[in-house]
Amino acid sequence: MKTLILRTASKYMLPLLLVFSVFILLRGHYLPGGGFVGGLMAAIAFVLHAFANGLENTKGLLRIDPAILMPIGLALALLSGIAPVLAVDLPFMSGLWWPDPVPIVGNLGSALFFDIGVYFVVIGVTLTIIFSISESA
């Protein structure tokens, strides 16, 4: 399905959906949202682009293999859980918070880094599965 309307719309929708996915990611530790939903939104943006412009164009746009995002995200999530144990002798997955709010992001803490790890894992898993299915079809 490579219509002119879909190709044109996908050029504008990709950056808009990616910005929205980051917004969902950043509001996740205060309100509904977070790494999982934000990662799905980002993956949907790339899938839409792949439907409109072809799989090879989307892979060229990504510049890296989505499977690389999975171990990076897992490592980040694990480090955010271990950091309280190593830093201040708190239980695993306890929240650590930066004392002052950061502009745009808000309160910076280990929950945000865990969500970013989940975000990367979800993007990596989703795109790897969908790209694999698309290549075999």
Task: Please give the pLDDT value at position 1.
Answer: 61
* Phi then psi dihedrals of residue 105, to 5 deg: -80, -40
Question: Which pLDDT score, from 0 to 100, does residue 106 have?
Answer: 76
Q: What is the pLDDT of residues 105-129, one digit of tens each?
A: 777 888 889 999 999 999 999 999 9
Q: What is the pLDDT of residues 69-96, one digit of tens each?
A: 999 999 999 999 998 888 888 888 888 8
26 confidence band (pLDDT: 50, 70, 90): confident
